[in-house]
Amino acid sequence: MALPVPNLDDRKFQDIVDEAKRLIPRYCPEWTNHNLSDPGVALIELFAWMSEMVLFRLNQVPDRLYVHFLNLVGIEPFPPSVARADLTFWLSSVLDQSVTVPGGTQVGTAVATDRDSVVFTTSRDLVIATPVLDAALTAQAAREEQFTNAWDDLRYDGSAVTCFSSDPLTPGDAFYLGFETSLAGTVLRLAVKASAEGIGVDPRFPPLAWEVWSGEAWISTHVYDDSTGGLNRDGNIVLLVPLAHEPLTLGGTRDYWLRARLLTPAAGQPMYQASPKVRALTVDALGGTVPAEHAATVGLESLGRSNGKPAQTFAVGRAPVLPRRAGETVRVIDIDGATDWQEVEAFTESGPRDQHFTWDSATGEVIFGPRIRYPDGSVVQRGSVPRDGAEILVTGYRFGGGAAGNVGAGSLTVLRTTVPFVDRVANVRPSVGGVDAESVEDAKQRGPLTIRTGQRAVTAGDFERLTRETTTEVARARCLAATTPGAPVRVLVVPEVRTAPETHQLDDFAISDTLLAQIQNHLDERRVVGTAVEVGTPYYQGVSVAALLRAMPGRPATLVRQRAMDLLCRYLNPLTGGPDGDGWPFDADLNSAAIAQMLEAVEGVERVEEVLLFEYDLRNRRRLGAGRDVLPLDRHSLFLSADHQVIVR
């Protein structure tokens, strides 16, 4: 859709004629005949027609001038956002020594040419160390603070550890393993010798959750492979430990804990008839996981030499340039030696001796300070200028980003450089977060809104707008004003998740430390002095819908059920849900009548016989309480679909 044509002067032909006639008595009072037949009136109409043509041309402001105006007031298109993924490096064999995968290691997709390859670069060093197991505990759900020490039974031959000691077995019972050092990012193999005691469960989907302590909560560990059938026979369990693993004191022992927690079996699945028993257990590291981003790194690069004039511009070899990290700056080498200069957003606060520069992320241009003349005739240099002949370099930068970095799971498999003892690499989950640079058309629509509303966070709406403008990785924002004097303003952020709503889980809506810091810094620069800002995420209230539907004659029940499930997943979602399809509203309760009305519109549904709503624990994956007709929602919460049950007759 084209932008509306700006009306710099909205007067039409008749408006000009009427205005001219009103001026006749003032400037020519002897002129009394104002009829259309009068030659003077004919001349007025002629000049009015010519004036209207001039105004029409004036109103056709070229888009190029419009864009230049936006640049003049500081409205620039957002640079691309970088896709991020966790890369798992697998060792060629189990080693007794640590293996380091250096930061900056590049991994790409397997394509015919390097030009078409999507390249990711690791963000930091990955150290794959040998894990040391030194503690074991068991605990019952009913007595969570009472632990039984099982370490002696586990490490001595001839003994066995009963993993879950409740009788009958109760969901929530847990078997804990304590490690000497953090397992964050480790690919952990548990070589288990077990007795086939816990029969009765499906060995492919045992009701077990492997979790580690993150410092704030127990978080899920991805089970890459389990040949034990749920601790029921000899075999190996391969776990991909998350990137957060912190120490915790349990049973008087401070360790880095990994636990196997008993779950409520899925619908139609049986529980263990008896607790599994582990006779022996050894641990090894098979590899490690490290964050990576869709970016390539450029080292020291020369941009040219200074001519000593103000407002010099240099361009790096690759663009767009990603946000600079520590150590990525401009270096000036002259007769006094090498000096690293400081990047600033603008030269408004720069003095003539300040070694400042600006760096345009979109174009890659490095600009030094201009010389400004003021109305009184004075001339001020805003920012120092490198000496004539000085060499201008950048110490390093990263380039890349865009939607091309959103690749599927298992796509990043090609090591661009050899790493000793590393056999292969892959991304277990899809990469997310890649967004193309903002188009000029989008920037033109955003520009007037930014100018109209300003860049100062005062009201709740200001905080929400500025949070959304921070980056395209922010999908929604909600500001909760302080309820008491001195309390911080809370900003709740819903990140952009670009996978299908049917696959959304709680962990998909976690915001990364990088995004959190970016939002916090953006708001800190614009908040009112004395106002504290706290950035976090909403509380995601799981909701499970149980519905009984009657299908129309001749309609396949399976197809009708799938349509209903898809609709529920989209409707009860922070990004696609709600009546308008732009995310479930804050403070909006859920009513079973609304769900029933929505399901009745599904193709193939004759009628809805019953609908019940259940609260759902998204972390432990189980329903809470009995079915209800209404689920209330707090002002800091959003609904998220989980484990719907739809029966079609």
- Taking the CA atoms of the chain, what radius of gyration do you get in angstroms? 33
Q: Is the dihedral of CA 165, 166, 168, 174 positive or negative?
A: negative
Residue 331 is predicted with a pLDDT of 95
The more confident residue out of 486 and 522 is: 522
Give pLDDT, residue 132: 93
Whether the Cβ atoms of residue 89 and residue 300 lie closer than 8 Å to each other: no
Domains in the chain: ranges and CATH: 133-287 (2.60.120), 296-399 (no CATH), 455-536 (3.30.300.30), 539-648 (no CATH)
Note the pTM of the prediction, 2 decimals.
0.63
Least confident of 52-61, 521-530, 560-569, 577-586: 52-61
| Lowest mean per-residue pLDDT among 63-77, 334-348, 600-614 | 63-77
CB atoms within 10 A of CB 196: 13
pLDDT tens, residue by residue, 286-305: 999 999 999 888 889 999 99
Burial 235-269 (b: 16+ CB within 10 A, else e): bebbbbbbebbeebebbebebbbbbbbbbbbeeee
pLDDT of residue 159: 79
Q: Rounded to a whole number, what is the distance in angstroms from the first to the last CA of the chain?
A: 46
Structure tokens at 573: 């979602």
Using pLDDT thresholds of 50, 70 and 90, give the confidence band for residue 32: confident
* % of the chain surpassing 70 pLDDT: 93
Q: And the tokens for 594?
A: 């609304």
Taking only the tens place, the pLDDT of each residue in 260-295 is 998 887 766 778 888 888 988 999 999 999 999 998
189 pLDDT higher than 90 = yes
Task: Give me the pLDDT at residue 643, please.
Answer: 87
- Under DSSP, the state recorded for 501 is G
Q: pLDDT tens, 350-392?
A: 989 999 999 988 888 999 999 988 888 888 899 999 999 999 9
User: What is the per-residue pLDDT for 210?
Assistant: 93
pLDDT of residue 1: 34
